[in-house]
Structure 1
Amino acid sequence: MLKRRIRRLLIATLALTGLTAAGLVTAVPASAAVFNTYGTGVNVRADAYLSSPVVRTLPGPTSIDVDCQKYGDLVTVSGGSSRWWAHVPALGGYVTVAYVAIPEDKLPGVAECGGTNPPSGDITLAQVQAMFGTRIANPSLVETGLPSLNQAMRDANINTPYRKAAFLATLVHESRLEYNIREIGDTRLYGGRGYIQLTGDFNYGPAGRYFGIDLLGNPELARSLQWSAPIARWYWTVARNINPFADQLNMGKVNAAIGYPAGAEDQRRCDSFKNAIRVLTGSVPGGIICTRSKALSGDTSKLSRTQFDALTKVGGGLG
């Protein structure tokens, strides 16, 4: 494989200069592992996603002390590709493993990053059936998609009961938690597809650019097992910033962020949110907001994130 040959050559070259990881491990704490990057202009990002801010750029091959690694966006270079990112505390961010001089696509012997709020466990089929009952119409299909959906939740920091409940309650109403669903009767080229029912060229275009795929040219990718869950994560965290609304128990704002006009559906989704919290925690907290402010009562689907964020600041404590 070309990437492995290239990386092995780089490792051999680094060994001649005394910069191999094996020769430097003893110089750093036991909890860290030392690797070397290759190439020039390698970005260090604030998180494991290509949309994350660049905190610095490495001018050339650099020795990095890695404490953990995180599954994130795919990066493809001439030597190969990887979805894993090395967390380098001294640099204040993440470096794609695609630019680390190893033959593998994942750092050997390095733990996965737990984050400041480690996940409490993957969601199971039994849990979503308890949460949503007959809305889970195709259990085998839901179960097939759960590994990718759980990964997307980890990537999106959907790692608390409130966040999980808001995300799952939204998706069960959008798609019945079926990754490959197409909106019934919707014949539009960019009609609703996948977990989040991605709709409109104003979403297909940006989502495709974010992941480096041609969603405008091949919109069916939005309901593939490979991309349906990552696209839901993209919408939840990039097109919108929905986790904080879940933290506030504000399903009014969650529903507004999805983009449909206010109506009876808001209460149905809020009831599903409560059911999901009950399954995850054993009780339903007080203070859940199911309603929206007047500013958020219309169809907000075509608003930019900046425009939507501005509207959420109007209307006091309501959604």
Structure 2
Amino acid sequence: MVRFASLFVATLVSAATLVATPAQAVGFQTTANNLNVRSDAYLSSSVIKVLPGPVAVDVDCQRSGDSVTVPGKAATTWWAHLPAHNGYVTVGYLNTTATKLPGVPECAPNPNPPVNVTLADVQAMFGSRIANPTLVNQGLPSLNQAMRDANITTARRKAAFLATLVHESRLEYNIREIGDTRLYGGRGYIQLTGDFNYGPAGRYFGIDLLGNPELARSLQWSAPIARWYWTVARNINPMADALHMGKVNAAIGYPAGAEDQRRCDSFKNALRYLTGSVPAGIICTRPTAYAGDTSKLSRAQFDALGIAPGTVG
């Protein structure tokens, strides 16, 4: 019986391995050090990984996007999808002189492309909190991409995310917390704070945030870092799904107080704009376990606050 089970498991593993590499994948070599793998075929798309040096990669499809010119090569608008890394690199940094990869199919279009948030949208949601419309508008392409990458595509998730950011940074990607002179003080959309956040965020993206904390409020990294905090440092989408703005605020990391209600009111305004009404069941207050400053907790420690004593599994 054990022998049969082992053979069965081995067969499943073998089958899974075969599925992992698409049949139509074509092998190439990257030609650059520290090559960004982006979530889509645009320079504004968030960086999801950095390939440290020339490496072999499989390409299963290609997509037209932003034009990129690599020294010594013709400009190309084509980007190769790397299934092993779940992202795109420009064809310009692959070992080919072609501007479009021969023998590689085009990627299927997204049948349900997410709707971008516009400047008019956030002004309608948050009014005078949008204090610098030009700057907010400049950051929206990267912020919309980060929202897509984080699966912030429903009204509840968009409302919670945008309401949080408008209070954190007024939706200005390059903001520095006023009066905060600490080396790892608040920066960017999500006001990244503390070496306990700068370090892990930098490692996740393959950049040295501890050595260069100002990257946290650059146009390139501010939105991806907000996405990282929302989905990696914390798991906030389910809280938004449950209309529990109290837990969302706790997850951002500051002690309970009057600010919770202000952010919850912004959440309601955003929902009213996005859906035409404010649903019943919104929770603005925090459970007692979340009342303190949770900013320095790891994700595991934060998640444990919501687990009843003796709970397993």
* The two structures share one fold, judged by TM-score above 0.5: yes
Q: Name the aligned partner's letter for residue 35 of structure 1.
A: V
Is the Cα contact below 8 Å between 2:82 and 2:89 reproduced in 1? no
Provide Cα deviations, 1:215-267, integer angstroms capped at 9, x if missing partner.
11111111111111111111111111111111111111110100001111111
Provide Cα deviations, 1:112-135, integer angstroms capped at 9, x if missing partner.
7749xx454100000100000110
Cα RMSD of the aligned pairs, angstroms, is 3.4
Report what 1:94 is aligned to: 86
Aligned-residue offset at 1:278: 1.0
Separation of aligned partners in 2, 1:283 and 1:307: 35
Moved over 3 A (4+): 47-51, 60-71, 93-109, 111-115
The DSSP-based 3-state class of the residue aligned with 2:146 is helix
The DSSP-based 3-state class of the residue aligned with 1:169 is helix
The DSSP-based 3-state class of the residue aligned with 2:279 is coil
Separation of aligned partners in 2, 1:85 and 1:303: 38
Report what 1:222 is aligned to: 216
Q: Name the aligned partner's letter for residue 156 of structure 2.
A: Y
| Change over 3 Å in CA distance of 1:119–1:247 after alignment to 2 | farther
Separation of aligned partners in 1, 2:137 and 2:203: 29
1:283 aligned to 2:291?
no
1:312 aligned to 2:306?
yes
Separation of aligned partners in 1, 2:234 and 2:64: 26
The DSSP-based 3-state class of the residue aligned with 1:300 is coil
1:261 aligned to 2:252?
no
Is the Cα contact below 8 Å between 1:70 and 1:112 reproduced in 2? no
Report what 2:184 is aligned to: 190
Separation of aligned partners in 2, 1:314 and 1:233: 28
Is the Cα contact below 8 Å between 2:216 and 2:222 reproduced in 1? yes
Aligned-residue offset at 1:286: 1.0
Query: Runs of 5+ in structure 2 lacking a partner?
Result: 1-22, 31-38, 40-46, 67-78
TM-score (norm 2): 0.71
Q: Name the aligned partner's letter for residue 125 of structure 1.
A: L
Q: Name the aligned partner's letter for residue 157 of structure 1.
A: N
Provide Cα deviations, 1:37-57, integer angstroms capped at 9, x if missing partner.
459xxxxxxx99459xxxxxx
Report what 1:24 is aligned to: none
Aligned-residue offset at 1:312: 2.5
The DSSP-based 3-state class of the residue aligned with 2:86 is strand
1:36 aligned to 2:31?
no
Separation of aligned partners in 2, 1:205 and 1:105: 37
Separation of aligned partners in 1, 2:57 and 2:201: 32
Separation of aligned partners in 1, 2:251 and 2:99: 36
TM-score (norm 1): 0.69
1:148 aligned to 2:142?
yes
| 62-71 vs 277-286, which moves further | 62-71
1:201 aligned to 2:195?
yes
Report what 1:110 is aligned to: 106
Q: Name the aligned partner's letter for residue 36 of structure 1.
A: G
Report what 2:291 is aligned to: 297
Alignment of 1:169-184 (within 5 A): 169-184=163-178
Report what 1:135 is aligned to: 129
Is the Cα contact below 8 Å between 1:293 and 1:314 reproduced in 2? no
Is the Cα contact below 8 Å between 2:173 and 2:222 reproduced in 1? yes
Q: Name the aligned partner's letter for residue 81 of structure 2.
A: A
Q: Name the aligned partner's letter for residue 86 of structure 2.
A: Y
1:212 aligned to 2:170?
no
Aligned residues: 254
Query: Runs of 5+ in structure 1 lacking a partner?
Result: 1-31, 40-46, 52-59, 72-83
| Change over 3 Å in CA distance of 1:62–1:237 after alignment to 2 | closer
Residue identity over aligned pairs, in percent, reads: 70
The DSSP-based 3-state class of the residue aligned with 2:26 is strand
| Change over 3 Å in CA distance of 1:166–1:112 after alignment to 2 | farther
Is the Cα contact below 8 Å between 1:256 and 1:297 reproduced in 2? yes
Match among 106, 118, 124 for residue 124 of structure 1: 118
Aligned-residue offset at 1:35: 2.8
The DSSP-based 3-state class of the residue aligned with 2:292 is coil
The DSSP-based 3-state class of the residue aligned with 2:305 is helix
The DSSP-based 3-state class of the residue aligned with 1:312 is coil
Report what 1:166 is aligned to: 160
Provide Cα deviations, 1:57-99, integer angstroms capped at 9, x if missing partner.
xxx978764498999xxxxxxxxxxxx77365xx8x8376589
